[in-house]
């Protein structure tokens, strides 16, 4: 395990990035609808999960491409920790996707589809656009993680091992939220490209995840449960309203003086670490 690495930016001076190796195991007793026995909540998060392994490999490659333009030793150390964290997320989410396969979800097939599309996109894009897309998607993961950590009562509705996986991943996404953005600022710093790529990425992200959620929901065999659906919509858009709370944070990205470290989440990250990570906090 590497030592905590301080952030290179003044505004993010309190941040640390720590690589934690985990080894989650999903037992036979883990239910198929692992999120509150709710088909829609399970499908929404599983839809995100299938894209993590290929997505995170892409993030690592996009950032590494520009390392020769980074002189700041603190940022270089942060990139190293970012790569370590994302590599561990990939490993654990491959295992999670295999668990989903075992419950009748087409998770690994979806993961393969995402990997193929990501490969094509990577080839068709400039390195600058790949890094801008990585910064955009890292903003998505950071804001989604921040709302999950702010509402610990939501993760408590997941089966215990799934809750540990998602909270651990959320903590680390918040910890390394500035890395791709800082490399982009140093190596590329094209504001127009940053905004354009975020807009296109948003459309694709929403569409792809909506379709995938519908496919996974169908695979639960319980797509028409009215009360479960209303409950899931309430969690996302009503109370606590995870997606509703993500929207203003998403919009922050379009400010000229935006920096990921402006996302205030320290208190919730600390509480989640104490609750879920024990000695690895």
Question: Shortest approach of Fe ion to residue 221 CB, angstroms?
Answer: 30
Does residue 134 contact residue 180 with C-beta atoms inside 8 Å? yes
Binding flag, residue 89, Fe ion (CB under 5 A) = yes
Question: Shortest approach of Fe ion to residue 42 CB, angstroms?
Answer: 20
Q: Which is nearer to Fe ion, 142 or 158 (CB)?
A: 142
In order of 117, 137, 226, 247, the CA distances from 106 in angstroms are 17, 23, 24, 29
- How does strand 5-6 pair with strand 16-17? antiparallel
3-state SS class at 151: coil
Q: Which is nearer to Fe ion, 56 or 150 (CB)?
A: 56
Question: Shortest approach of Fe ion to residue 141 CB, angstroms?
Answer: 5
- For 196, how many CA atoms within 13 A lie in the half-sphere containing its CB? 8
Residue listed under structure tokens 């990205």: 253
Does residue 191 contact residue 253 with C-beta atoms inside 8 Å? no
Using CB atoms within 10 Å of the CB of residue 215, give its burial: 0 to 12 exposed, 13 to 18 middle, 19+ buried. Answer: middle
Does residue 177 contact residue 139 with C-beta atoms inside 8 Å? yes
Question: Shortest approach of Fe ion to residue 176 CB, angstroms?
Answer: 6
Using CB under 5 A, which of the segments 82-90, 99-107, 150-158, 199-207 binds Fe ion? 82-90
Using CB under 5 A, which of the segments 124-132, 173-181, 213-221, 242-250 binds Fe ion? 173-181
Residues 38-57 contacting Fe ion, CB under 5 A: 56
Question: Shortest approach of Fe ion to residue 106 CB, angstroms?
Answer: 22
Residues 126-155 contacting Fe ion, CB under 5 A: 141
Q: Which is nearer to Fe ion, 89 or 268 (CB)?
A: 89
Phi, psi of 5 (to 5 degrees): -115, 120
Binding flag, residue 212, Fe ion (CB under 5 A) = no
Q: Which is nearer to Fe ion, 91 or 231 (CB)?
A: 91
CA 118 to chain centre: 16
Question: Shortest approach of Fe ion to residue 278 CB, angstroms?
Answer: 20
Angle ∠(254,259,264) on CA atoms, nearest 5? 105
Binding flag, residue 93, Fe ion (CB under 5 A) = no
Q: Which is nearer to Fe ion, 36 or 56 (CB)?
A: 56
Q: Measured at CB, which residue is nearest to Fe ion?
A: 89
Q: Which is nearer to Fe ion, 36 or 173 (CB)?
A: 173
Residues that bind Fe ion (CB under 5 A): 56, 86, 89, 141, 173
């Amino acid at each position: 395990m590497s030592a905590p690495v301080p952030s290179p930016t003044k505004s993010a001076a309190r941040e640390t990035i720590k690589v934690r190796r985990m080894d989650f195991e999903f037992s036979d007793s883990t239910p198929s609808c692992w999120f509150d026995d709710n088909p829609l909540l399970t499908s929404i998060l599983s839809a995100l999960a299938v894209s993590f392994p290929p997505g995170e490999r892409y993030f690592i490659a996009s950032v590494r491409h520009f390392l020769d333009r980074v002189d700041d030793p603190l940022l270089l150390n942060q990139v190293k920790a970012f790569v370590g964290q994302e590599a561990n997320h990939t490993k654990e989410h491959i295992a999670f996707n295999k668990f989903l396969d075992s419950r009748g979800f087409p998770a690994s097939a979806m993961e393969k589809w995402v990997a193929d599309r990501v490969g094509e996109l990577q080839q068709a894009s400039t390195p600058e656009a790949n890094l801008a897309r990585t910064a955009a998607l890292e903003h998505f993961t950071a804001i989604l993680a921040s709302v999950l950590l702010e509402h610990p009562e939501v993760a408590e509705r997941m089966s215990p091992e799934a809750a540990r996986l998602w909270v651990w991943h959320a903590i680390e996404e918040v910890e390394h939220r500035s890395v791709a953005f800082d490399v982009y600022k140093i190596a590329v710093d094209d504001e127009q490209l940053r905004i354009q790529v975020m807009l296109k990425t948003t459309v694709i992200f929403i569409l792809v995840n909506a379709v995938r959620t519908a496919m996974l929901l169908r695979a639960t065999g319980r797509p028409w449960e009215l009360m479960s659906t209303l409950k899931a919509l309430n969690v996302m858009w009503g109370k606590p309203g995870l997606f509703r709370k993500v929207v203003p944070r998403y919009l922050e990205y379009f400010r000229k003086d935006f920096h990921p470290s402006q996302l205030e989440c320290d208190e919730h990250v600390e509480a989640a670490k104490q609750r879920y990570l024990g000695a690895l906090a």
